[in-house]
Amino acid sequence: MALAETKLSKRGPSETGLKWKSKAKEEAVSFHVHLRHRETQCPVRILSKNVQGQYVQGQLVEDLHENEGSRVNPEGGNFGLIISSHYYSTSMASYRCQFLFLGAPDEHVQISFIDFHLSDANTSKRCEEGTHLSIHVLVGSRMSKVQDFCGKELPAPLISTQNLLTMELNVRDIPLPIPASMGFKLKYSFMKGYGRQYNDGASVKSTGDCSFAFYGDNATAGQVWSPNHPGFYPRNLDCEYTFNGQPGQIVVIHFQYFDVEGYGQCEDTTHSDFVLFSNYKTVDRTNRRFCGSNRPPKDPIQSESSYFRMQFKTNDIFDATGFYVYYQFLNQQHSTKNRVKLVSNSHAQLHFSIPTLLICSTIISLTNKFNK
C-alpha cells in the first residue's frame, strides 16, 4: 500500500481544507466549520510531531489568522490532553467547535476519554438533538461517522482507521455560564500500528501491524485481544493470528469476551465483521465465521493439529469493541494431565463465571471473574 501524503490548507475564514494524496489518485476531503465567534479558538488543529516537521510548511498552518482557529502541540511523547472548557463560548448558548487530529501517513490517532458529561441522562431528546460530540474517521478517501456521544456515560476508547480523526462538539441551548461539571476531558496520542495485542511473556513474532505468530515452545499459554480493546476496533482491518505448536501439541482457544458486529452467518453479502478459524494455511471454507449473535461456542475451540489460524476482518461500516481470547498449547498425548487455567482479564467489561469444560476426556474446571 502506498503511503498517503496529507496536507492542511486554508480556504477562507469559515472552513478548513484537507487534501489526501496518493500515487494512484488525488482526492480532497473538506471540513466546513462555520466560525460564529473568535473566543473559542475553533476549529482546533492537533498535529502529530511527525506531521509538523514533514508536512506543515509555509502557509499550511503557521500563517493562519487568529480568527481561523487555533493549534495544539502534542507533548514529547506525541500525546496530550484536550479539555473542552478551554474552548467554550462565554456568550453563546448554542455553537459548534471542531477538533481535527492529523497524524503522519503511517500513524493512527487514539482517543481515550477521562471525563465525560454533556447532558443529563433523563432528557427526552435524541442524542443528536441535544449537546453531543460527533466523531468521524477517514476511511479510504471519505470521512465516515463513528458515533454521536452524549449523556454521562464514558465513551469507549477510539482509534482512527488511517491518520485522521475529527470531533465536533455541538452545544445546544446550554445555560450561561456553562456549568463547571459540563464537558469532557480526553487523552490523545499519535501511534504507529495498533499497539500491543498480547500479554507480556508470550512467545510471539509480529509480521505486521495486525499480524502475529504465536509459538508453543517457551510460553504454552497466553492472551490475545483485538486492536484497541476494550475500545472500538478500527475499520478495514484484516488481522491474522497464527498459533504454531510443537509436534504433538494442539491449540485450545477460549473467548472470554466477544463483541464483533455482524448479521446472520456473517457472509460477505451482509458486510459483516467476523472472526474465522482455520486448521490450514490456505483458505479453509469448512470453518464457519463468528459475528453478532452468531457467537463462538461456550466450549473451547480446538485445533486438529499443532497449527491453528484465526482471522479477524472488519469492514468500513461497523464499530464494536472486539474480543479477548485465552489460548493454550496442550500436549495431545498427555492431555489428561493438562488443565487450562484462565487468568483474570482486566480488559473485559463483563462479569460472569465460565462453566466446567470437557477437553480430551479431561474435566477442566474454570472459574474466572472479570474486572471492569
The grid cell for 223 is 492472551
The residue behind cell 499550511 is 60
> What is the DSSP secondary structure assignment for residue 291, as one 8-state letter?
B
Dihedral angle over CA of 362, 363, 366, 367, nearest 10 = -170
Cell numbers that stand for 300 in this block: 473451547
Residue from 261, 108, 136 nearest 194 by CA: 108
Q: Which of 101, 332, 327 is nearest to 215 (CA)?
A: 327
**Count of Cβ atoms closer than 10 Å to residue 154 Cβ:** 14
Give the rounded distance of the alpha carbon of 136 from its chain centre: 13
**Cα–Cα distance for residue pair 197/201, rounded to 1 Å:** 12
- Bond preceding residue 43 cis, omega within 30 of 0: yes
Q: What are phi and psi of 54, to 5 degrees?
A: -110, -35
Task: State the pLDDT at residue 280.
Answer: 86
The Cα–Cα gap between 210 and 259 comes to: 18
CB burial of 330-355 (b: ≥16 within 10 Å; e: otherwise) equals bbbeebeebebebeebebbeeeeebe
Give, in words, the CATH class of 204-336.
mainly beta
Cα 229 from chain centroid (whole Å):
7
Q: Which residue has the cell 467547535?
A: 97
What pLDDT is stored for residue 122 in this prediction?
A: 59
Q: Do domains 5-192 and 204-336 have the same CATH topology?
A: yes
Q: What is the pLDDT of residue 213?
A: 93
* pTM given for the model: 0.74
Tell me how far apart the alpha carbons of residues 341 and 338 are, in angstroms, rounded to a whole number.
9
pLDDT for residue 371: 41
Look at residue 347 in the predicted model and tell me its pLDDT: 46
| 133 touches 79 (CB < 8 A) | no
How do the domains of the chain map onto residue ranges?
5-192, 204-336
Helix (H), strand (E) at residue 53: helix 49-54
The answer to whether 273 and 320 have CB atoms below 8 angstroms apart is yes
**Mean pLDDT, each 10-residue run in order, the chain (372 residues):** 46 44 43 41 90 50 53 87 84 85 94 90 76 93 92 94 94 77 92 89 83 90 95 94 94 97 91 93 77 94 94 92 96 54 42 33 33 41
The one-letter amino acid at 79: F
Report d(CA 53, CA 259) in Å as an integer: 39
How many C-beta neighbours within 10 Å does residue 227 have? 22
CATH node for 5-192: 2.60.120.290
